[in-house]
Amino acid sequence: MTARSKDLVVRKELPTQAKLRLKVPLTRDSQGIYSLAVSPDGQQLIVGFGNGAIQAVDPMSGKAVRDVFSGGVSRQATTALCFHPMDNSYLVSVGAEGIVGVYNPLTGACLHTFTEEDNQLYTVDISADGATFATAGRNRGIRIYDTRNNHLINVLEPADHVTSGKELKPIDGHTRRIYALRFHPQERHIFVSGGWDDSIKIWDKRMSNEARKVLNGPHICGPGIDIKNNKILTGSWVARNALQIWDFRKSSVEKNVAFPSSIDHGEFIYAARYCTGDTVIAGGSGTNSAQVINIKNDTVLGEFNLEQHPVHTVATALDGQQIAVAGDHGNLQVGYLV
């Protein structure tokens, strides 16, 4: 076992503190960082920028390793990145121009790229078995692709009461933009999505246009959904009760997690992820920081402060032992739990 891998061995004891390892002032793009992904083994950190660039960074040293995609002044943001759960050489990216890219981040090679016409994409995730990935964004539809050949398998249609003339039902598709989508970690056909229409939809990817269940309330404006042990974590862009735990089976709020914020600025969360045990990380524009919180007792284990700049995205790996936080002006911070 190398010294590097020893440092990333998952601890069995419960974490009591979140620590900052690195502050990385990336200058690849002045528009800031909009997406992050950490490989399942914690060895790779991939960063997506506002000019479309995608860069591999060493999570231990903070040094840029290679450009995966160079971006450009005419390009729009890389809004989401996702590693294959069992293959560190397979990365999917989506962007605000509707472009889907499949890369080998270990070499920087582009394996495949295509565009969803007349769409802006904000989110992507790969199923737990690695067989499919799903994209969503401005046009409110959800597209399911085969990871082996990138062929479109299914489209979960958005709600459309204007042309259909039918009254909308809660289980119909989304009525506004979708900003987050996460597959269930154990059930390969099930995933959840959320966005501006103040609802979380629970889907079976084999269905055409009706959700299995609906959670009413969360106003999702970024990568603010995660799933663990049949508990859905949501981070909403609202002033109060922004961080919530939902029971996947009962479709009800189990807990409003106390998120530290001032009375003047509110919570306003963009991004939220589970870490290890009963620990989560969440951040946004209310505090301009990401807080690591024990959700059982609402204890704050640490803060990653971006110094007056909003947190756009967070990422975790190795049960949260590897943490990354990023936002405006190239602010990237890397930490860990102890």
Average pLDDT per 10 consecutive residues for the chain, totaling 338 residues: 46 78 80 94 95 94 93 91 96 98 97 97 97 97 96 90 64 94 94 97 85 95 96 97 94 94 89 94 96 96 93 92 89 92
Q: H/E element holding 162?
A: helix 161-164
Determine the pLDDT at residue 2.
46
Contact 259, 248 (CB under 8 A): no
Determine the pLDDT at residue 29.
67
Contact 283, 275 (CB under 8 A): no
Determine the pLDDT at residue 276.
87
- The neighbour count for residue 73, using CB atoms within 10 Å, is 7
DSSP state for residue 184 in the 8-state scheme? -
The distance in angstroms from the start CA to the end CA of the chain is: 20
Determine the pLDDT at residue 166.
67
Determine the pLDDT at residue 14.
74
Contact 249, 230 (CB under 8 A): yes
Question: Residue 320: which of 12, 4, 10, 3 has the closest Cα?
Answer: 10
Question: Residue 322: which of 13, 14, 1, 18 has the closest Cα?
Answer: 18
- For residue 77 the two structure tokens come to 């943001």
Determine the pLDDT at residue 186.
93
- Answering whether pTM is above 0.95, one says no
- For residue 337 the two structure tokens come to 């739990």
Task: Return d(Cα 80, Cα 223) in angstroms, integer.
Answer: 8
Q: H/E element holding 7?
A: helix 3-7
Show Cβ contacts of residue 162 under 8 Å, excluding neighbours closer than 6 positions.
none
**Assigned CATH for 14-161+168-337:** 2.130.10.10
Following DSSP, what letter does each residue of 246-273 receive, concatenated?
EETTTTEEEEE------TTT---EEEEE
Determine the pLDDT at residue 206.
81
- For residue 45 the two structure tokens come to 């950190």
Q: Which phi and psi angles does 55 have, rounded to 5°?
A: -130, 140
Q: Which phi and psi angles does 330 have, rounded to 5°?
A: 70, 20
Determine the pLDDT at residue 5.
44
304: amino acid identity, one letter: F
